[in-house]
Amino acid sequence: MEFSIKNILKFLLFLGLGLFLLAWAFKNMDLQKMFNEIKQANFFWILIAMICGILSHAARALRWNLLLKPLGYTANNWNAFYAVMIGYFSNNLVPRLGEVTRCAALAKTDRIPIEKLIGTVITERIVDLILTALITLFIFISQFELLTGFYTDVISPMLGNSKNESNFKYILLAGIIIICLLVYIFRNKIKSLTIFKKVSTLLNGFVEGVKSILKLEKPLLFILYSLFIWSMYFAMAYFTFFAYPPTSQFGLEEGLLVLFLGTVAIILPIPGGIGVYHKLVGLGLVLYGVTESEGLTYATLSHATQMIMIFIVGLISMVLISLKLRKRLTVDDIL
């Protein structure tokens, strides 16, 4: 990753935006009350949620190894796991840095060319984007009424519109029709645009990513690992519900909404999704009957659970990889 002035300024911009959103989310909160409620949370369920997070990252490491085998390389599964955790640790400090650091870590421990590793990470990202799109589509279809309510009850008032003025269904339908008509009318001009070529390249990358999965020695296992990863993401949100009394009665629908809103927050180039995660998840849960402060308390608890797990396991992974590399250097010196 090139640490140019442009990249540093971009990082500071998004970090500042995250901190602004965090301050905005907490501006009307009684912080002392929130901290007291968090201290009284059932930490057994927090621990279960953390274990689910660790399992998702372990599955990601195993899935990564499946992508390496057709290239003629096999990494140690523990080393792959340590590298994945170092990547997540780095991503929460500097967005997009994790892809580079995880490849660099595994390249050192298992002596795999870093360009090969970067290629597999790109394939991973394509698969994750496809799964994210499918999960988003499922949530959108299965909870259309709820998302409509989220717009009319939460987003629209924030934009200064009354609930009666906004009819999300009709706005969405009219918008889709207008976009389709414009695309059809200006289709030739659109094809000549640079952005169209970039989107086409991206879509071709998706297709190639799917083809590369089908060429794997165990494509079904790869798909099962991918589904397990996302089910563990859901489980983290779901089990955290039980840790906090106001959300302890929540279930599948609420968990899917947190998964969707949390994914949106993490995708944005803001370190750790701070601010965005808290605001989106906190407001989203209001639709299920909790107060905004209770929704924000859950979001804080859920986000902290993920961050603490990543930082602890990430730091341990850094130490273990450093010890492995030091031991190898000592052995090489003896030989």
Rounded distance between C-alpha atoms, residue 222 and residue 128, angstroms: 12
- Of 284, 279, 205, the C-alpha closest to 247 is 284
Q: How does the average pLDDT of the chain come out, rounded?
A: 81
Judge whether residue 205 has pLDDT over 60.
no
Confidence of residue 1 (pLDDT cuts 50, 70, 90): very low
pTM: 0.78
How many residues are listed for the chain in this entry?
Answer: 335
290: left (phi over 0), alpha (psi -120 to 50) or beta: beta
> In angstroms, rounded to a whole number, what is the distance separating the alpha carbons of residues 202 and 13?
26
* Residue 25: predicted pLDDT: 75
Mean pLDDT over 125-146 rounds to 78
| pLDDT for position 212 | 62
Q: Which residue has the higher pLDDT, 195 or 20?
A: 20
Instruction: Report the amino acid identity of residue 49.
Output: A
Mean pLDDT in residue range 224-239: 94
Q: Considering only CA atoms, which of 12, 10, 39 is closest in space to residue 300?
A: 39
For residue 283, give every residue at least 6 positions away whose Cβ sits within 8 Å of its Cβ, in sequence order, or none.
150, 154, 292, 295
- Residues 304-316 have a mean pLDDT of 94
Give the model confidence (pLDDT) of 96-125 as tens digits. Answer: 788 889 999 999 999 888 888 888 888 888
Burial of 145 (0-12, 13-18, 19+ CB in 10 A): exposed
pLDDT at position 254 over 80: yes
**Above pLDDT 90, what percent of the chain?**
33
Per-residue pLDDT band at 210 (split at 50, 70, 90): low
Q: How far apart are CA 149 and CA 84, in angstroms?
A: 37
pLDDT of residue 159: 53
Contact yes or no for 292/282 (Cβ under 8 A): yes
Q: What is the mean predicted confidence (pLDDT) over 283-302?
A: 90
pLDDT (average), residues 236-256 = 93
DSSP 162: -
Using alpha carbons, select from 229, 282, 237, 281 the residue that is nearest to residue 255: 237
**Of 7-11, 17-21, 305-309, which one has max mean pLDDT?**
305-309
What pLDDT, on the 0 to 100 scale, is given for residue 250? Answer: 93
DSSP secondary structure, 224-279, as one string? HHHHHHHHHHHHHHHHHHTTSGGGTT--HHHHHHHHHHHHHHHHSSSGGGTTHHHH
pLDDT at 165: 45
> Which pLDDT band, with edges at 50, 70 and 90, does 298 fall under?
very high
User: What pLDDT was estimated at residue 11?
Assistant: 67
Choice between 48 and 4, residue whose per-residue pLDDT is larger: 48
Long-range CB contacts for residues 136-139, cutoff 8 Å, separation at least 24? 136/260, 136/263, 139/256, 139/257, 139/259, 139/260
Confidence of residue 27 (pLDDT cuts 50, 70, 90): confident
- Contact indicator for 86, 318 with CB cutoff of 8 Å: yes
Distance CA 108, CA 323 (A): 12
Assign 234 a pLDDT band (cuts: 50, 70, 90): very high
Q: Could you give the CA distance from residue 94 to residue 91 in angstroms, rounded to a whole number?
A: 5
| The predicted structure's pLDDT at residue 42 | 94
Distance CA 46, CA 195 (A): 43
Over range 286-291, report the average pLDDT: 87
pLDDT for the residue numbered 31: 83
- The one-character DSSP state at 94 is S
Task: Label residue 235 by pLDDT band (50, 70, 90).
Answer: very high
CA 45 to chain centre: 21
Q: What is the pLDDT of residue 49?
A: 96
